[in-house]
Every structure is written in structure tokens, then in C-alpha cells.
Chains A and B, each alone.
Chain A
Amino acid sequence: MTVAVRRQDRAGYLFLLPWFGGTLFMIVPFFASLYLAFTDYDLLTPPRWAGLANFRTMLGDATLHQSLRVTLIYTLVSVPLSLAVALAVAMVLDRGVRGLAIYRSVYYLPSLLAGSVAIVMLWRYIFGYNGVVNGFLAWFGVQGPGWASDPRYALSTLILLHVWTFGSPMVIFLAGLRQIPAMYHEAAAVDGASSWRRFRSITLPLLSPIIFFNLVQSLIASFQTFTQGYVISNGSGGPGQSTLFYNLYLYQKGFAEFDMGYASSMAWLLLTVIAGFTAINFLAARWWVFYDN
């Protein structure tokens, strides 16, 4: 018996080997970047120890503050908005629409496409100065702005793009909704509860662990936004600095401006910020997340 168990253990560890190998590729850069965060490193010559200099520079770096502002606005607006849309669509689909699999795929599709070059072309076609939206506005005699080229609107346009990619939280919501026993709703309906009341008192509480999961996931992903900003603004964060996401600025610093030390320290600041927000999330969860069992 013990021999067999030990052999099983050994097999288990052997199966885990690839994971250890993969983790090595995470751990080494992880600590390397921690070291680099305290150096002056231009990529071409060896890093030089700089102590806290990078972090001191951050305090006075207006561009860094702008990129934090952009990322915060983007996260605080787009995450609740996209979760609300995802939940709404999931609830509609949960009513037993015919061809659910097709709808699910169709709504999931944007999540796969966002950040691709094809989307940029499409987006320009729709939101450009002479695009579809402004063509529509022109019927009413209004000349709309360049929704992607005007620094006042560019970020909102990107938020819209993000909300449009509600596919993956939607699929998770859908799975969660399926698990709520129909008898609760039936019992409430018999007692005369309105559909809004049933949503408030049955669906939301029973779905709260799923909402919490989606919230944490989306928040972390949103702070790390890079591809959409890079592709839409061609890496510049423009127009102006209106779409300069934190990670985009980090990338510019590291690879375009030869300042990998600073970029590394920025990465650690981001890690701290994300950890902070996630911790707050978990603390707050005690008050509103309801576990059925």
C-alpha cells in the first residue's frame, strides 16, 4: 500500500515537472525585475545600482501620473460597465433562447478579436472623423468630432471597445445563473414578488460569488491593459496622452527610451497597486458576497 502511494506521489511530482519548468521562466524574470527596479539600466550596457532613484523620479514624473490617471479612469468606468452588460446579456440568454450556443459564440467573438488589427480598421471606419457615427450625426446637421483622434473622446471610445468585449464574464455569469435553483424563483413568484424583486433578492445574492470572481478578474486585467491601447494608438498613447495606459508607458520607457530600470520599477508599482485593489476587494467581499452553503 505505502509503496503504491509513494509511487503515485512520485508520478504526481513527475507530472508536475513541466509546471516547475514553466514557473522557472516566471520566477527568474520576477526577481530579475525586482533587482533592475533599483538600477539604471539602458539595455545596452550592464545595469548600475541606483538605489531608490527610480522611485524618487516617479514622484515628479508628470507623464507617469497621467498614465495612472488614464488607467484608473479606464478601470473604474469600464469594469462595472462591462460587468453590467455581461450580466444583462447573460440573463437574457438564460431565459432559454433557441440556439443558445450560437448566441453565446457570437457574443464571445469580440473578446477574441479585440486588440487585433482588423478591429483597428473597423474602429477607424466607425469612429473616424468621416466615419459611420459622424455620417449618422450629419443627418441631423451635426459635425461630430474625431472620436478616436480627439483627445477629449479617445479614451471613451476605448472604454466602449472594452465594454464590447464582455464575452468571457458573460459565459461565467451564464454558468452561474444556471446553478440557481428554479424553485426559488417559482416560490417567490407564487408569493407575488415582481421580477425586479426576484432579481434583487434571489439572483443577485446567489450570484454574488460569481460577480465577485468576475470583478477581481476584470479589475486585474483592466489595470494591465496594453494591447488595445497599443494597437489603437499605434504604440504612442495618443492623441496627446489621452490613451497612455500605464503598461503602454512602461513599454515606451523600457523599449523605446532605453530605460529598463525605470520600467522595472514601474512594473513593481503596478504590482503593488493591483495587490492593494485586490486586497480591498477581498475585504469588502465579506459584506456583500453570499455563499449559499
Chain B
Amino acid sequence: MNHLDSAAGLGRRQMFKLAGLAGLTAALPACGRGFGGGGGDSGKIEINMVWWGDAQRAELTQKSLDLFQTANPGVRVRTEYQDSSPYKDKLAARFAAGDPPDLMAMRFDSLREYTDRGTLLDLSAHAGRLDLSGLTPQAKALGQVGEKSYGVPSGLNTIGFVVDKTLTDRYGVAVPDGDRWSWDEYAAFAEQITKASRGKVYGSNFEPWTVANLLVFARQRGEDFFTADGRLGATAATVTAWFQLTVDLRARGGLPPAGFIDQNNGSSPAQSYLAKKSIASQIIPTNNLLGYNQACGGGLALLRIPGESQAKRRGQSVDTPALWSIAAKARHPQETLALLNFLINDAEAAKVAGATRGVPPNRTLAEQTAPALDPDSRRSAEFLTKLQGEQLPPSYPYPVGASKLTNILKVISTEVEFGRTSPADAGQQFITEARKAITT
């Protein structure tokens, strides 16, 4: 009895200790957050900035942020980054939780998902803090929704075809003229490589499910993939022709056989089939030329997308790997605007960041930084600068729901790849599903 009693007493005392500990651990994370987002001890204003990319990009980004923090000692920038696919999901969850980041990288195809729901800051209303006058018209248009501006391109890029010259030399195949080649020449070239290497190397590969690739093809055929009023402008005939191209080229041996390419192989240059030397050419975003060329051991030539000079009109456009956007509920909008202004207009910041996000959208800075770039980045910068000077049809922001299209296209192109759906059915199916995805 007595024994029991004391045991209970001991338990209770221990329990209070435990409860105290539990309370303490619960309170700990709260300290990190501080009040109103101000960073705990030093009383500095803290800006939370998130983006996607790899360690190399992180290092370059940090360099420009260090410059900003030196110039603004009262502000601390807390960054988070990860791979692009989890980034997208996490960003949505943060908005849902009412805890959006201040400054964020925004996918071009998701911009309207966010703006149409009123979650982003209208940058055009803050011209006093954020100077967009140095941007080229194409660059400015990328973040524009109607009259308002919700994003500033973090850099400019486009897509291009890279050809591994060490392979073409080895098998004695001439690299086509990248400014003039047609889709037929492309097909013949790819087939030639496969034949000459006796199937050791496949001539080419590109992702038929990447919307940016199909978009260029549709534009070449005179169709806006997305129209100015946010509808799907591509026709079933165009999507069918796109799939027919892959089916024919696979039959001729120019593309690897079905199942050779693992869709989920990962997106980094080092993991690519190009780096493994199992294919000789593929489409890449031009700002990744440096990474791919390093992964392939040099020797990559950068060509335009085929068909540009034969088509009804130009297909390629000036794009951005990511926009910078500010949350409507940013805790420190003024400081965040200042940071964004610094990132896109400061000469030193642009210089240290290099070309990891493409060519600076500010034209003066683009010219200033070009000479100091490494040879690969300079090549991709020149490729883009040339494109910027050309007459290209306008391109419009992706409508709400457009971010679903990659998945739809991926499912359908697998069916086509394994011959379970004909290109004609695939084209029809894509249009039906894409329309549904965009309107709902």
C-alpha cells in the first residue's frame, strides 16, 4: 500500500518533468520563427526566398544574395531550394497553409494558377521600387497577365538541339546546318547515325511529352498552342503529326526502340542518355548547355529546332526557365521588392550569378556580362541574343490548368511509343483531355 503510493508519487513527479520537456520541445520551433517573421536574435528583417535547381545554382545564387546582404545589413535572406518536381508540390502546400514564401521561383506554366487566385503581388503597381524599364519587351511580356505584371523572368532561355560532335565525327556523319535544317533532314541525320554506328548509338531522342517542344512544332504550323484569350489553339492534326514524326523515326531507327528510354530517368545532365553516349542528339533548355557539355566531356554543338526556316512561321520563342514572383501576403513586401530589383538590375549580382538561369532579362546587363562568361554559356547567350533580335510571333501565358498537360501528354505518348494507340487517336485524345484540363 505504502509502496504503491510512493510509486504513484514518483511517477507523477517524473511525469511533470516529462510534461515540461514536451512543452519545451513544442516551444522550440516557435523560437526559430520569431514574431512577424523577424529573425530572432539580431532584429533583422528576414526574407524567405525559394527556388528550384541544383547545388551549382545554389552556390551562384548565394553569391548574389551575399552582395545584397552586404549592401542591406538590416535584411537577412533565408533561402530554400530543391528539385523542380517536389518544389512545385511544396509551393502549393505552403500557400495552402497560409505561409507563402516572400520571393519565389514560379513555373511559367503555373503562373496563372496563382495569379487567377489572387495570391501574387502585382509588380506593375510598385514601379518606384522595382524598375522593369531595362527589360526587353519579350522578357517583360513573360510575366504579364493582361495589363498587370506578376513575374519577372529570372533569366531568358529557349530550347535548342544539341548534337554530340565526337559521335558524328566517329561515325563520319556530317552535322547539319542548324540554322536551316528541316524536320526531314533531322530524321535522315538521326537514322544515319544509328546505321553508321550499327545500333551502338541512336541518332536522336527528344521528349514528345514536353509541352515546350510540341509548342514550337505547333507554332511552326501556324497555330498558337495557347491563344491570347487562354484557350487551347493547337489542333488534333498537329498533335497527330507530332506523334507520327516519332513513330516514323522510331521505325527508321533514328529514335531508340520503345522502352529504351526510361521516362523517369531524372532530369540532370549527368544522368542523361546523351552523357552516357547512347544517343547523339537531343533537345535541351539552352541555359543548361554548360551542364550538358560538361557531362558529355565537351563537343556539343547547339542547333535550332528543325523546320524553322521552312515553316509557315517561326516556332521558337524567347522563354524563361523560371519567373520571380512575390506573394501578395509577403511579410516584407518593400524589402522583397528591393531584393528582386537587385537581382535583375544590379551589374555585380548579374555577373556573379553567371548564366545558370539563362541570359539576364535586362538588356544592358546581358551585354555587360557576356564577355566574362565561360565559352559554353557565351555560346548559349549568343544563341538567345540572336533569337531576341528576330521577328517572332507573340507567345501567350499558359492558361489555368496548363500545368496538367505534361502528364496528359506523357500518358498518351507512352501509349503511342508502345504502339497501343495510333497517332490519329492520340491527337484526338490529347485535344479532348487538354480542353477539359484547361476549362475546369
Contact = CB atoms under 8 A, between A and B. Distances in A.
A240 B117 contact: no
A130 B12 CA distance: 63
B74 interface: no
Contacts of B19: 14, 17
Interface stretch (B1-9, B126-134, B296-304): B1-9
Interface string B409-434: 01100110010100000000000000
Contact of A239 (B4, B5, B85, B414): B414
Contacts of A135: none
B414 A256 contact: no
Given A124-B262, A149-B259, A11 B15 contact: yes
Contact of B8 (A7, A44, A252): A7
Contacts, number: 105
A260 B266 CA distance: 27
Given A44-B118, A234-B266, 5 more contacts: A4-B1, A11-B12, A235-B85, A236-B264, A258-B113
A60 to B, nearest CB: 11
Nearest to A21: B22
A18 B22 contact: yes
B183 interface: no
A145 B12 contact: no
Interface string B79-110: 00000011011001101100000000000000
Contacts of A124: 262, 265
A196 B8 CA distance: 54
A261 interface: no
Given A8-B8, A18-B22, A44-B95, A236 B262 contact: no
A7 B404 contact: no
B436 to A, nearest CB: 11
- What's the dominant secondary structure at chain A's contact region? loop
A4 B263 contact: no
Interface string A250-293: 01100111101000000000000000000000000000000000
Interface in B235-277: 258-266
Interface string A223-262: 0000000001111101111000000000110011110100
18 contacts: A1-B1, A4-B4, A4-B5, A7-B5, A11-B8, A14-B15, A15-B11, A44-B92, A44-B96, A44-B114, A149-B259, A149-B261, A149-B263, A235-B86, A239-B263, A240-B415, A241-B411, A255-B89
Interface of B: 1, 4-5, 8-9, 11-12, 15, 19, 22, 85-86, 88-89, 92-93, 95-96, 113-114, 117-119, 258-266, 278, 403-404, 407, 410-411, 414-415, 418, 420
Contacts of A110: none
Nearest to B421: A240
Interface residues of A, number: 41
A45 interface: yes
Contacts of B118: 44-45
B414 to A, nearest CB: 4
Nearest to B276: A130
A115 interface: no
Nearest to A124: B262
A148 B414 CA distance: 13
B414 A240 contact: yes
A10 B11 CA distance: 11
Nearest to B26: A21
A129 B11 contact: no
A43 interface: yes
A44 B9 CA distance: 51
A260 B96 contact: yes
Interface core residue of B5, B11, B85, B263 (most chain A CB under 10 Å) = B263
Given A4-B1, A11-B8, A255-B89, A238 B264 contact: yes
Contacts of B261: 129, 149
A19 to B, nearest CB: 12
Contact of A236 (B113, B119, B258, B407): B407
A149 B407 contact: no
A112 B245 CA distance: 45
A72 to B, nearest CB: 19
Nearest to B263: A238
A257 B414 contact: no
B259 A150 contact: yes
Contact of A44 (B1, B117, B264): B117
Contact of A232 (B4, B8, B85, B264): B264
Closest 7 CB pairs of A and B: A146-B259, A43-B96, A234-B264, A240-B414, A44-B117, A255-B89, A150-B259
A135 to B, nearest CB: 14
Given A129-B259, A234-B266, A238-B264, A150 B418 contact: yes
A152 interface: yes
B214 to A, nearest CB: 17
Nearest to B401: A257
Contacts of A255: 89, 92-93
A128 interface: yes
Contacts of B9: 7
B15 A256 contact: no
A227 to B, nearest CB: 13
A240 B420 CA distance: 11
Contacts of B117: 42, 44-45
A4 B260 contact: no
Interface in A142-201: 145-146, 148-152
A44 B119 CA distance: 7
